[in-house]
Structure 1
């Protein structure tokens, strides 16, 4: 069984998370510049044998898709083309950034690291992936 990647896509930065070998637990991996995301996934796949990529679906509080969804749809098409053996799935990502910020605050880490948007992005990706794993009975 291959691992899963979680993606919290942004126009500038993208958070990436990865599952353990049993696909039960998601871990933050890294935050990358969005324009290098495909290369990063390629490099990760060389060593981790990725089976699925889970990408957040950005809704507002009223259930409307956010404008960035257009970019994410293009990303999904590109991923399916570049990595035909990897399944790409989507999951609601509402509140992940807010929960990530609160998680960082609750962790007690220093003020400078709390302000790091890179940390928020990769923790958001972890929340997206963990939600998917739980919803799909990987836990």
Structure 2
């Protein structure tokens, strides 16, 4: 089997999570600057077998699209032009940042570590991936 990659897309940073080859375990991979995301993905896809990419879909409580959705749609058009054979699925990412922050508290992370927005983005991507795996 191949890995599944999840992205928590942001204007500045994008959190990335990935499964193991058996698609059983979701783990945070890294956070990259969004301007370097395509370059990172090209290198990662070259060295790892990835079956599909999941991209968080931010929604408001009334189920309308979040303000960043236009940026994500633009990114997805560019992504599909670079990786036309790679399937992309959207996953509801409501509350993932809050859940990521809470998981940091629950795991005993110090206050200084909880301010690390890159780590929150990576954990959020992991939650997106877990949501998809266990649906």
Which bin holds the TM-score, normalised by the shorter protein? over 0.9
Q: CA deviation at 1:74?
A: 1.1
Contact 1:5 1:129 in 2 (8 A): yes
Aligned partner of 1:5 in structure 2 is 5
- The residue aligned with 1:94 is 94
The residue number in structure 2 matching 1:71 is: 71
Output the aligned Cα RMSD.
0.9
Aligned to 1:118: 118
Question: 1:109: how far off?
Answer: 2.0
TM-superposed CA distance for 1:62, in Å, is 1.4
TM-score, normalising length: structure 1 = 0.93
Aligned residues: 135
Q: Structure 2: which 5+ runs fail to align?
A: none
Secondary structure at the aligned position of 1:4 is classed as strand
TM-score using structure 2 length: 0.96
SS in 2 for 1:17: strand
Q: Which runs of 4+ in 1 moved over 6 A?
A: none
CA deviations on 1:72-104 (whole Å, 9 max, x unpaired) are 111111111111221111010001000000001
Structure 1: unaligned runs, 5 residues or longer? none
